[in-house]
Structure 1
Amino acid sequence: MKRICIIGSTTWVALATCPFAAAADLPVSYPVKAPPAAIDYDWTGFYVGGHIGLATGNSGWTLDPLSGGAPVTGSFGLYQSPNAFKESGSWFEGVQGGYNWMLKDRVVLGVEGDGSFPTFSDPVSGLTIGGISNFTSPTFGAGTFSEKVLASGTLRGRIGYAPGHWLFYATGGLAWTYDQQELTQNATGNVEDRFVWRFGWALGAGIETAIAPNWTVRGEYLWTDFPSFSENFPLSGQHVSSGLSEQQFRLGFNYRFDDPSRPATSAPSHFAANDIFAVHGQTTFTYQGYPSFRAPFDGPNSLSGGGQTRETFDATLSIGVKLWQGAEFWANPEIDQGFGLSSTHGVAGFTSAEAYKIGSSTPYARLDRAFLRQTINLGGDTEKVDNDFYQFKGTRSTDRLVLTVGRFAAVDIFDTNRYANNPKSDFLNWSLVNTASFDYVADGWGYTYGAAAEWYTGPWTLRAGVFDLSATPTGGNSPEGVALDPTFHQFQLVGEIERRYDLWGQPGKVKITGYLSRGNAGDFNDAIALAAATGGPADINAVRAYTSRPGVSLNMEQQMNDNFGLFLRAGWADGNTEPWDFTDIDRTVSGGVSISGRSWGRPDDTIGIAGVVNGIDKAHIAFLNAGGLGILIGDGQLTNYGLEQIFEAYYSYALNSSTKLTFDYQFIANPGYNADRGPANVFAGRVHWQF
């Protein structure tokens, strides 16, 4: 019979009291190692990140005449309502970095430094985070005093408590701000400004939590206060004292570097970072210049003949989230700085697509893209998709419908080309990275609101889109040409058909793109007639009326082998009506080659060589000769018209897989179609880093 033993409360008692239990009677139980206790989230380590936020506050000021007299006091608020069509208001973006040290009782100590930059100034008020006061002084008369924040930052300590993957903290420390003050006398129109540094203190609190391995998100409130500061305005004969306080509400992301001396962090998360959450970043610095060239005269929009150098810088974060099956949301906060040559004037095929139509010597914030993309698979073969700046890694069907809506660039979808499309990595010239006559809708930085649909079926793709035009065309004297139309009364329709094929066993594409812009724009012939009647220069602003401007273009790319490819573009647009948003080109032909460095043992290097010829119609020529101003050009006269001819060559040298150094050269004959000026030899260096 089987022996039965009574087992006690512990295994060792059972084994001790039943040593004679046979293997056939009961299975042998071996002691096993207990599972390790769950490791609580460890906040110790270095981190870097970015933030976006909204600011408010106030400033009080006193104006004292330097020669004596009664003072005048006033105050103003710093809050300006955000405007999505001007990309203006009291919002900001910035970067931060710091170190946390978590004690055994889960108290977290830390130190952090940050810098923040407001959005670009409103094109009409000139304000961002700032305000303006109107006043009347017995000695000065009627005038205005204003102050706006150009940059700010803090250096703070942090102390908090971390129950698991949440961190609740208080923070405080030093604060600084770099501001522009401006004093204006209404009677004379005299404007005197000062750039001032303020130093004060900061106090705040926040909540932070882990959302994916190495990534955290947080909300934070900061109050900064800056004591009264005095500055003389000698030309105005005034002494101004002012104080300033600011409140910021921030949303931030941090990337945590794991401390190798401690167990690896295990961020609790409902998803894997590569599955539904993606973060990419890039920064590009471009330095461009040219020596002096033949220029018997200069106009308001001329490329200066004296020679000059300029630089541009941008840093972009691309954040993507999968929402549901086939749906992705992407946002692109960006910080920009710098100017184009001659403030982005003087050449219709402008020399750097890294330079915008307006610029700033101090960094400023932008939200370039914020869009939803829905992909609907319709069958066919399954193809792999690599991880990219606006793309999750995964698969999709060759036949599919793609819908995009929100804020993005029309040329994100239309007129793309494998070999000439990205000024951060290939050609720099405006008329090479896109078809020069494609007057695609855009604000001053190249972005707009709209919707687009793409239908992929076999070797064909059909695309259609509708987009918001700028508030006014950008030519002439149009400060709101860099802003978008908030009524959508002015719009652009774009259509494109694409055919993919193989030629000699190598892939190629051909695209035909057409557009129609509808809105208030000027006719060149009307502006010329008005100038003849008034005796003044041609003024396109004075003859604007609701009208249409069409255009069409051809875009081809062809791979010849694994190391060599070529491209060709040609386009036409209505030359009697002023262009809205891109540049002053009515017809264009361009082409070039791209050569991989694989053949000489550097597979990540690239050589690009291309040329473009741009032209305008007779009415457009006559308008410029009558003193008219276009978007980018206007020498005051154009008696000797010539086609604008541009040659560009670059070598992109890969320092490593994520960093590239590029040397670029452009030869420009007849800049701004003016055969009396030029040629110009433009040199550039570019550094691009991306993760």
Structure 2
Amino acid sequence: MLRFPPLRFTRNALLAGFALGLAAASVCAQGPGSTSADHLPSAPEPQFIAGADFLQQKGLKPAGDPPAPANAPEPAPEAPSVTVFPHPEDARYWISGQANIIFQGRIPFHSLYEGPNSFRNSAEYKTSMVGTLYTALRRNRSVRYNTDFIFDLEAAEGRGLSEALGLAGFTNLDVVRNPYLGKAPYIARYQIHQVIGLTDKTTSQEANFFALASTVPTRRLEFRIGKMTLPDFFDVNSVGSDSHLQFMNWTTDNNGAWDYAADTRGYTVGGLAEYDDLNWSLRYGIFAMPVVANGIDLDWAFSRANGQNGEYELRHSWIPQRKGETRVLYYANRGHMGVYREAVQAYLAGIDSTPTITAHEHFGALKYGVGYNTEQELTANLSVFGRFGWNEGQHESFCYTEVDQTVSAGAEYFGNRWHRPLDKMAIAVVSNAIKRDHQNYLRLGGLGFLLGDGNLNYGRENIVESYYTWHAWKGMFYSLDVQHIDNPGYNRDRGPAWVGSVRAHVDF
């Protein structure tokens, strides 16, 4: 059985993460308030007012009426807007947009050597931008049998530090892993979303660009077919999934060991089926795999290559009157993938001049793994989350990043105590690992689609990330973020590295 080295986080790294969070809180402790839509205060219920009550509401008190009680409750405050242009309630259409700009910089760090795919040790800064137009149309207002048509356009430009190479947990989730795809807008999503109710009992949900109905059956089937990105529906976590308002690192926002089917930009085509009940959900999907590792072209022959994903979600809290959720994920990818051990053996036997994983690919190769995802609200302001992921690690990392095992934990805190309810600060720790065959491949000079220092003195890649997000006005948010990476690219001979970020985000 393969064993992973124990998790090691330096004391300085942890103290640095906490210090950044506390410093950001003190800087932003004044001014008008803000939070994510998941934590907005409830909107006041509509009041039907008549007669004298109506006059009182308008300040026209009839003669002889008794004075209002001194201890009468104040009306609930109006929920702050989190978009520049509010979306009309219960509309049959959706039009919105977002823009996310991230500036990142790195200071020099210790490095004994560098390879073709190394995270460079010189000072560097880069900027990325992603803009998305979300549109959707609801066929009718039926609650039990609802259909949504979804179409999104997107544009991405800018590059990541070191061309997004050299880190398993890269520092910017918005960066396209191939910087030469161009700036032209592309179709990000097109979907048909069908709801089939199994009961007349209903529950409310927040309407959004993936589901326009604000009321749905408590028990229902949902189907989606078209182009999508899997993290929209699998491995979702309200504390650690949103690179626009939360963490930025690939392996903080997603399960790094989940090599989910996707092209270079993170999208694929396929179908998803989901059953939802009052407190739990079950979903399954099958999707197209890329033709080559990290490729932009998809293999449309599902009989030859596909990515299958399943997830069970339980909505249960361990603390009364608080929210809590747990998700268990599995995936199985079949594709034209190589085997690390075969590449190493061919090199040691003198067949290959360097270890080359692409020279040992097989159609129908199977890569599989599991994931665990949990979140728990502790107080009105404080929530925690955690993830664990594992995959078999013998076949090459193909779609997402080069991680065979990951564990992460973190917490976020909202700014109600300093009268900024939409501000938040957070910290997370992540530890990534690869298995022995993968280690040997990199140690002997092999290149993955992300990693390759030319040598390897193996150690777990440990990351501490902290941020503060400030709500400036309506849909405008700004963030400060810092990341400490110990053993970048699993290499003890390099690092630690520090990366600082400034993010501007707007929701239209």
TM-score computed with the length of structure 1 as normaliser = 0.59
Q: Secondary structure at the match of 2:323?
A: strand
1:602 maps to 2:420: yes
Instruction: Report if aligned partners of 1:465, 1:494 keep a CA contact under 8 Å in 2.
Output: yes
Cα deviation digits, residues 257-304 of structure 1 (max 9, x gap): 9xxxxxxxxxxxxxx995221101111111011111111211111011
- For 2:444, the equivalent position in structure 1 comes to 626
Instruction: Report if aligned partners of 1:565, 1:593 keep a CA contact under 8 Å in 2.
Output: yes
State the shift of 1:323 in Å.
Answer: 2.3
> Higher relative CO (CA 8 A, sep ≥ 6), structure 1 or 2?
2
State the shift of 1:390 in Å.
Answer: 2.8
Cα deviation digits, residues 245-266 of structure 1 (max 9, x gap): xxxxxxxxxxxx9xxxxxxxxx
State the shift of 1:657 in Å.
Answer: 2.2
- For 1:295, the equivalent position in structure 2 comes to 111
- For 2:477, the equivalent position in structure 1 comes to 660
Shift in CA distance, 576/302, structure 1 to aligned 2, threshold 3 Å? same
1:476-555 to 2 correspondences below 5 Å: 481-488=295-302, 489-505=304-320, 506-532=322-348, 533-534=350-351, 536-546=353-363, 547-555=365-373
Instruction: Report if aligned partners of 1:582, 1:631 keep a CA contact under 8 Å in 2.
Output: no
1:419 maps to 2:239: yes
2-structure distance, mates of 1:669, 1:364:
36
Rg larger for: 1
1-structure distance, mates of 2:89, 2:198:
27
2-structure distance, mates of 1:351, 1:675:
19
Match of 1:566 among 368, 372, 384: 384
Instruction: Report if aligned partners of 1:385, 1:392 keep a CA contact under 8 Å in 2.
Output: no
Q: Secondary structure at the match of 1:318?
A: strand
Alignment: residue pair count: 414
Shift in CA distance, 669/445, structure 1 to aligned 2, threshold 3 Å? same
* Letter matched to residue 373 of structure 1: H
1-structure distance, mates of 2:182, 2:318:
49
Instruction: Report if aligned partners of 2:289, 2:305 keep a CA contact under 8 Å in 1.
Output: yes
Q: Secondary structure at the match of 2:473?
A: coil
Cα deviation digits, residues 328-355 of structure 1 (max 9, x gap): 0111111211011111101001111011
Gaps of 5+ in 2: 1-84
Shift in CA distance, 399/504, structure 1 to aligned 2, threshold 3 Å? same
Which structure: greater strand fraction? 1
Match of 2:291 among 471, 484, 504: 471
Q: Which moved more, 1:370-379 or 1:433-442?
A: 370-379
- For 2:207, the equivalent position in structure 1 comes to 387
Q: Secondary structure at the match of 2:108?
A: coil
Q: Secondary structure at the match of 1:655?
A: strand
Q: Secondary structure at the match of 2:125?
A: strand
Instruction: Report if aligned partners of 1:318, 1:390 keep a CA contact under 8 Å in 2.
Output: no
CA root-mean-square deviation: 1.6
- For 2:398, the equivalent position in structure 1 comes to 580
- For 1:410, the equivalent position in structure 2 comes to 230
State the shift of 1:627 in Å.
Answer: 1.2
Cα deviation digits, residues 462-494 of structure 1 (max 9, x gap): 1100000001123xxxxxx23211333210111
Instruction: Report if aligned partners of 2:156, 2:176 keep a CA contact under 8 Å in 1.
Output: no
* Letter matched to residue 438 of structure 2: H
1-structure distance, mates of 2:352, 2:90:
65
1-structure distance, mates of 2:105, 2:449:
21
State the shift of 1:535 in Å.
Answer: 5.5
Match of 2:94 among 278, 299, 306: 278
State the shift of 1:678 in Å.
Answer: 0.5
1:25-64 to 2 correspondences below 5 Å: none
Instruction: Report if aligned partners of 1:667, 1:681 keep a CA contact under 8 Å in 2.
Output: yes
- For 1:354, the equivalent position in structure 2 comes to 174
- For 1:436, the equivalent position in structure 2 comes to 256
1-structure distance, mates of 2:189, 2:182:
22
Instruction: Report if aligned partners of 1:339, 1:361 keep a CA contact under 8 Å in 2.
Output: no
- For 1:396, the equivalent position in structure 2 comes to 216
State the shift of 1:360 in Å.
Answer: 4.9
* Letter matched to residue 501 of structure 1: H
Cα deviation digits, residues 480-539 of structure 1 (max 9, x gap): x23211333210111111111122211211111000001111110100011122362110
Instruction: Report if aligned partners of 1:462, 1:497 keep a CA contact under 8 Å in 2.
Output: yes
1-structure distance, mates of 2:269, 2:332:
16
State the shift of 1:389 in Å.
Answer: 3.6
Cα deviation digits, residues 17-71 of structure 1 (max 9, x gap): xxxxxxxxxxxxxxxxxxxxxxxxxxxxxxxxxxxxxxxxxxxxxxxxxxxxxxx
Q: Secondary structure at the match of 2:251?
A: helix
2-structure distance, mates of 1:469, 1:360:
21
Which structure: greater helix fraction? 2
TM-score computed with the length of structure 2 as normaliser = 0.79
1:295-334 to 2 correspondences below 5 Å: 295-324=111-140, 325-334=145-154
